[in-house]
Amino acid sequence: MQRIRKHPVADQRPAAAEVQFTFDGQACTGLAGEAVSTALFANGIKRFSEHRKDGAPQGIFCANGQCSQCSVLIDGLVKKSCVTPLCAGMDVRTIHGLAALPADNVTLEAKAPELLHCDILVIGGGPSGLAAAVELAEQGFTVLLADDKAELGGKLVLQTHKFFGSEADCYAGTRGYDIAKKLEARLRAMPNAKIVTNSPICGLYKDRKAGIYIDYARYALIDFKALVIAAGARERSILFPGNDLPGVYGAGAFQTLVNRDLVKAAERVFVIGSGNVGLIGSYHALQAGIQVAGICEILPKINGYKVHADKIVRMGVPVYLNTTVLSVEGNGKVERVTIAEVDKNWQPLLDTARSFAVDTVLVAAGLSPCDEFYKQAQQFGFTAVRAGDAEEIAEASSAIFGGRISALSLAKIMGKNVSIDQSWLDKREVLKSRPGAVIKRLPVQAGESWQPVFFCDEEIPCNPCTTVCPTHSIKLKPKLGSIMDLPYFEGSDCRGCSACVAACPGLAVSLMRRIDEQWSEVQLPYEFEAEAMENGCSVPLLDQYGKFVEDGQLAKKFYNKKYRTWILTCRLSSDNAAKVIGVRVQPAEATLPLPETSFSYLPDDAIVCRCERISVGEIVQFIKDNEVRDINQLKTIRVGMGACGSKTCSVLLPQVFRKAGVGPVTLIAGTVRPLMLEVGVAEILSAGNGSGRSAEGAAK
Amino acid sequence: MTTCDVLIIGAGSVGVPLAWYCAQAGLKTIVIEQEASWGRGQNRAAIGGVRATHSDPGKIKICQESINIIKDLQFGRGIDLEWHSGGYLFVAYDEEREQAFRKLLLTQKKAGLNIDWIEPERISQLAPGVRMNGLRGGTYSPEDGYCSPLMTNTALHRLARQAGAEFRFGERVLSMTLEGDRISMVRTDQEEYAAGRVVNAAGATAAELASMVNLEIPVHPDAHEAGVTDPVERFMEPMLVDITPDQESGNYYFYQAETGQIVFCITPKPQIWERDCDNTSSFLPLVLRRMTRLYPRLANLRVRRTWRGLYPMTPDGLPIIAEPEGISNLLLTVGMCGQGFMLGPGLGKLLAQRLAGSGKEHQDLLDEFTLYRKFEGMELLK
């Protein structure tokens, strides 16, 4: 069983009964109620089915109920394993080719779909949706918030790290899942708000109704007056040969498996993309005991916050800049990734190729907004606003403000006399800022009393260290006049309490003091298992950029419960006290390339439409043969005709057209129609035999 | 002024094959289409059924031609259209339907159709699991079938281009100038054209186009929704059609595509006389209730997508194929009543023979589908 029994920050799931099930007849054990896909992973099974077109192995891709690549036969019916709860005795099977339709001759008693009513339907219960729903409920509207996950909070639920931002405004320093609980509690306290979880909206209809797939088992309709689309974002897939192998998936899917479901989904991963998602995904891997062979970034600089990147590098993970992925290869699963540097036209330099042995490749190449419902709502003439990533991709902290602002603008449209606090607008702008300047800090020296040393030198919207300091000795040095400014220690009153060390989301603050001429002590943050570390043990200490400084000696350890962070007090030579900030976690061997580089470079083989398995080469040929300018015409070769409804391939198509010599300006966009995900016929007829709650019962 | 022999307005189910045959016949052919590409009017919404099983000789003749053309593309030229000769099966669960179908068989057989009455036992072989309770039998025409409208129109568009037809997309006709008994000029938002023959193949917008030459034609679109499920292993062969009306709907029909999906459609009651092509929430519960009652095992499928298209209807359910009086160079090929996809290839071939020939060819079709008929009654199998 590949479960994560001990995690330094994530809570263990509430105890669930162990149940027996079978996969292709083989006995397996899982936890009742967990996703079937999770149970399969926990049993070491990553290859779920075979694609009907060419037998290609299929596995987890979105882990989000959207793509259908994880489909398996469960008790004779095709189901998405990532949204089907495990029950005792389930007969789970590989789908070979097309599944047979069960010869079931019992006529259903068809009923009309249940109809729910609300003033405002909020689609999505992440940070912006929750914040918007609270505001609208406070304005007196009846609000129905629908979310496709069992737990509210959207991606916050997967964020086991502490958040940037400001503590006063957006819970900075608090871990993502705890922020979600705080927002949820506010909404649950509103009597005029209903919440339906585990139930995706599956279509908008012109007669001002939305279809909802309750518990992925029953279909109902919602009648609304206006919409808030806060459906978040989805990870952009990218094109490289082997991008369809089981084991290549988004960092978000990985976080679902590792942080939510606590399965050790991989032994060693390689990460594509150095934005915050890729950096944090790498960190989460390490925390789960999974090695990270490296991160590649096609741009010449790190794309995420510098403190995040520094932190990852310190753990022993190399970041390869100006580098792209050439191929992912393996026999039915990921076994090897090959990367290479790019020239100034982004073309790979094949002689710089290096291969790494990994079993998983995480794609963190950016997000695109889930704004289909918004576009449809506009086309249909509905009253609608969007919020959060569906509006603009940014940090969760800014999404909370964005949600409130969108909610109030909607209230205004609907005739309420409200005004939007200018400070909210300002805060949203600051919180979604890209990083600013990197400012060199002056060297500091250890004195007899404790003092903080800051290793954050890039302007980002963040200030928890200033608010947690009991003596108010940490201040932002005013330059921009916002929380983008960098913190400095002012005065002499540091009690060595380590609150700043524990609170810093970037793990970029240490405390130091001199003991004698030769020796000093430092207090360092540590978010890994430290139970087994004993006083006196040797600790490999690293500088800001991961360079080994010296082996320190553990003098004391202390677990800060509020921030779920260990504070390690280490003794080291005074000369180095101001340099160290990290403790090496990963051995260097984990990051070594294979002695021999081995790959075949066939970029036209990259899969664009995963549902129907259509490659770059096939699409380019079709575009040329038929002088295609209208994306809808690609449906002729089934691009976008699969189960996911073009959610994955649509963002990739412009670059495929460019490859065929067609610029993006002349392109006609594809049409989006319901359903947004497949729903059973019996479920639409309210006759499903699933254990679904009724719509009214589900709305709490 | 751009000149050509044939100016076809509408690059859809009818215009595209017509352009192919005209270009093959050596006519300089230009096609003007207001949509961004071919088949984006109503061809995109066709579900793909192609049958020669109709109740009138003209449509039978045209569609027999269509089937031959599609088979030739599929098997002769090796262009995959996902054609499957699954046949059409009209089922009868009551006396009224049985009598009507049996009576029609006489006309259909006389027109040379391969069609016969089959007993419930045979039906259950063709569509295992279909409701046997009350089933009296049905008519089955094994040479009918289905294929992908997208693949078919794309193939025909490519062939037409290769044969020399020119397509102009995203171009809208603004006016047509009548001089004497001729259309002397067709003006679009981009260009002016003078053509030997102007063909109105404008589908759901045919009536507006006709009004530009002061011609009133009884073509009014009504909206129909359709849907598709996830694919499963083949379990049924024919296009199943149930024309028994109930309180909320008229006929409905579905088939299993070559790639395994069930594709389905229904005629709502009352019909929806509008041009809106966005989906409504009433369609799925309405059509699925009837489908699962007829065929219970369909309940185990999953619906993947729905869409909505227009049937350019005439009052009697038959097309208008006409050379209107007083306008010597105008050909109307309009009012396909939702059957443009199956009529298009055959119609294109036959009308191109007339356009390129003496102008007398296939007069039987123009006689039957004249604009100057009484438009009484309604075609039974519409």
Contact by Cβ (8 Å): A613, A607: yes
Q: For the segment A327-351, what is each residue's pLDDT rounded down to a tens digit? A: 999 999 999 999 999 999 999 999 9
Does the pLDDT of residue B381 top 60, yes or no?
Answer: yes
Residues of B in contact with A52 (CB under 8 A): 231, 260
Q: Which residue of chain B has the CA closest to A97?
A: B233
Does the pLDDT of residue A169 top 90, yes or no?
Answer: no
Give me the residue from A668, A674, A681 closest to B302, CB to CB: A681
Average pLDDT over residues A387-404: 89
Q: Chain A closest CA to B334's CA: distance in Å?
A: 24
Give me the residue from A107, A627, A630 closest to B296, CB to CB: A107
Does the pLDDT of residue A174 top 90, yes or no?
Answer: no
Residues of B in contact with A65 (CB under 8 A): none
Residues of A in contact with B151 (CB under 8 A): 636
Average pLDDT over residues A420-424: 87
Closest CA to B63 of B346, B363, B368: B346
Average pLDDT over residues A626-636: 96
User: What confidence score (pLDDT) does residue A694 get?
Assistant: 55
A252, two tokens: 């978000």
**CATH 3.30.9.10 domain extents, chain B:** 83-145+221-310
Residue of A101, A202, A213, A619 to mutate, interface with B, max B Cβ within 10 Å: A101
Contact by Cβ (8 Å): B42, B228: no
List alpha helices for A110-216, DSSP H: 127-138, 167-170, 176-188
Average pLDDT over residues A59-77: 94
CA dist B93 and B265 (Å) reads: 19
Residues of B in contact with A203 (CB under 8 A): 279, 306
Does the pLDDT of residue B380 top 90, yes or no?
Answer: no
Residues of B in contact with A657 (CB under 8 A): none
User: What confidence score (pLDDT) does residue A691 get?
Assistant: 43
CA dist B151 and A633 (Å) reads: 9
CA dist A248 and A233 (Å) reads: 19
CA dist A652 and A668 (Å) reads: 14
User: What confidence score (pLDDT) does residue B309 get?
Assistant: 97
Does the pLDDT of residue A168 top 90, yes or no?
Answer: no
Does the pLDDT of residue A689 top 70, yes or no?
Answer: no
Q: Residue A104 and residue B299: Cβ atoms within 8 Å?
A: yes
CA dist B8 and B200 (Å) reads: 6
Residues of A in contact with B272 (CB under 8 A): none
Examine domains A1-102 and A114-232+370-431 and report if their fold is the same: no
Does the pLDDT of residue A696 top 70, yes or no?
Answer: no
pTM for the whole structure = 0.94
Q: Residue B304 and residue A643: Cβ atoms within 8 Å?
A: yes
Contact by Cβ (8 Å): A472, A493: no
Does the pLDDT of residue B124 top 50, yes or no?
Answer: yes
What share of chain A has pLDDT > 90, as a percent? 82
**Mean pLDDT, all residues of chain A:** 93
Residues of B in contact with A630 (CB under 8 A): 36-37, 40, 169
Average pLDDT over residues A302-326: 93
* Chain pair A-B, CB pairs under 8 angstroms: 148
Give me the residue from B233, B289, B292 closest to A101, CB to CB: B233
Q: Chain A closest CA to B179's CA: distance in Å?
A: 37
Give me the residue from B40, B231, B299 closest to A682, CB to CB: B299
- CATH architecture of the domain B83-145+221-310 equals 2-Layer Sandwich (3.30)
User: What confidence score (pLDDT) does residue A692 get?
Assistant: 44
Q: What is the DSSP string of A235-302?
A: EPP---TTTTSTTEEEHHHHHIIIIIS-B---SEEEEE--SHHHHHHHHHHHHTT-EEEEEE-SSSS-
Does the pLDDT of residue B135 top 90, yes or no?
Answer: yes
Q: Chain A closest CA to B232's CA: distance in Å?
A: 5
Q: Quick one: DSSP state of residue B371?
A: T
User: What confidence score (pLDDT) does residue A145 get?
Assistant: 98
Q: Residue B232 and residue A101: Cβ atoms within 8 Å?
A: yes
CATH dotted code for A235-366: 3.50.50.60
Residue B37 touches chain A, beta carbons under 8 Å: yes
What is the ipTM metric for this complex?
0.95
User: What confidence score (pLDDT) does residue A162 get?
Assistant: 80
Q: Residue B232 and residue A675: Cβ atoms within 8 Å?
A: no
Instruction: Measure the CA dihedral A161/A166/A169/A175, to 10°.
Output: 10
User: What confidence score (pLDDT) does residue A621 get?
Assistant: 98
Q: Residue B305 and residue A681: Cβ atoms within 8 Å?
A: no
Q: For the segment A98-135, what is each residue's pLDDT rounded down to a tens digit? A: 999 999 888 889 999 999 999 999 999 999 999 999 99
Give me the residue from B37, B131, B300 closest to A633, CB to CB: B37
Does the pLDDT of residue A74 top 70, yes or no?
Answer: yes
Q: Which residue of chain B has the CA closest to A684?
A: B285
Fold topology of A114-232+370-431:
FAD/NAD(P)-binding domain (3.50.50)
- pLDDT band for position A396 (cuts 50, 70, 90): confident
Q: Which residue of chain A has the CA closest to B280?
A: A205
CATH dotted code for B2-48+150-219+316-368: 3.50.50.60
User: What confidence score (pLDDT) does residue B361 get?
Assistant: 97
Residue B305 touches chain A, beta carbons under 8 Å: yes
A54, two tokens: 């060419």
Q: Chain A closest CA to B83's CA: distance in Å?
A: 14
Q: Which residue of chain B has the CA closest to A626?
A: B158
Closest CA to B340 of B363, B361, B313, B316: B313
Does the pLDDT of residue B69 top 80, yes or no?
Answer: yes
- Higher-pLDDT residue of B172 and A546 is B172
Residue of A681, A683, A684, A686 to mutate, interface with B, max B Cβ within 10 Å: A681
Q: Quick one: DSSP state of residue A84?
A: S
Does residue A675 have a cis peptide bond before it, meaning omega lies within 30 degrees of 0? yes
CA dist A276 and A310 (Å) reads: 12
Task: Say how many residues make up chain B.
Answer: 382
User: What confidence score (pLDDT) does residue A699 get?
Assistant: 62
Q: Chain A closest CA to B46's CA: distance in Å?
A: 13
Task: Say how many residues make up chain A.
Answer: 700
Average pLDDT over residues A578-596: 93
Contact by Cβ (8 Å): A400, A168: no
Least confident of A392-401, B72-81, B302-311: A392-401
Average pLDDT over residues B185-210: 98
CA dist A84 and A215 (Å) reads: 9
B246, two tokens: 């109930």
CA dist A4 and A260 (Å) reads: 11
Q: Where are the domains of chain A?
A: 1-102, 114-232+370-431, 235-366, 451-591, 602-666
Average pLDDT over residues A515-531: 94
Average pLDDT over residues B293-302: 96
Q: Residue B37 and residue A628: Cβ atoms within 8 Å?
A: yes
Q: Chain A closest CA to B161's CA: distance in Å?
A: 9
Does the pLDDT of residue A33 top 60, yes or no?
Answer: yes
Give me the residue from B229, B281, B301 closest to A209, CB to CB: B281
Contact by Cβ (8 Å): A118, A142: yes
Q: Which residue of chain B has the CA closest to A687?
A: B299
Residues of A in contact with B150 (CB under 8 A): 633, 635-636
Window 238-297 of B, Cβ < 8 Å to A = 259-260, 276, 278-282, 284-285, 288-289, 291-293, 296-297
Q: Chain B closest CA to A156's CA: distance in Å?
A: 30
Q: Residue B292 and residue A681: Cβ atoms within 8 Å?
A: yes
Q: For the segment A441-482, what is each residue's pLDDT rounded down to a tens digit? A: 999 999 999 999 999 999 999 999 999 999 999 999 989 889
Window 362-381 of B, Cβ < 8 Å to A = none
User: What confidence score (pLDDT) does residue A695 get?
Assistant: 57
- pLDDT band for position B128 (cuts 50, 70, 90): very high
User: What confidence score (pLDDT) does residue B346 get?
Assistant: 98
Q: Residue A110 and residue B285: Cβ atoms within 8 Å?
A: yes
- pLDDT band for position A2 (cuts 50, 70, 90): confident
CA dist A393 and A366 (Å) reads: 9
Does the pLDDT of residue A688 top 70, yes or no?
Answer: no
Q: Residue A108 and residue B297: Cβ atoms within 8 Å?
A: no
Q: Residue B296 and residue A379: Cβ atoms within 8 Å?
A: no
- pLDDT band for position A158 (cuts 50, 70, 90): confident
- pLDDT band for position B26 (cuts 50, 70, 90): very high
Average pLDDT over residues A128-143: 97
Q: Whose structure tokens read 């053309």?
A: B69
Average pLDDT over residues A484-490: 94
Give me the residue from A105, A636, A687 closest to B297, CB to CB: A105
User: What confidence score (pLDDT) does residue A693 get?
Assistant: 54
Fold topology of A1-102:
Ubiquitin-like (UB roll) (3.10.20)
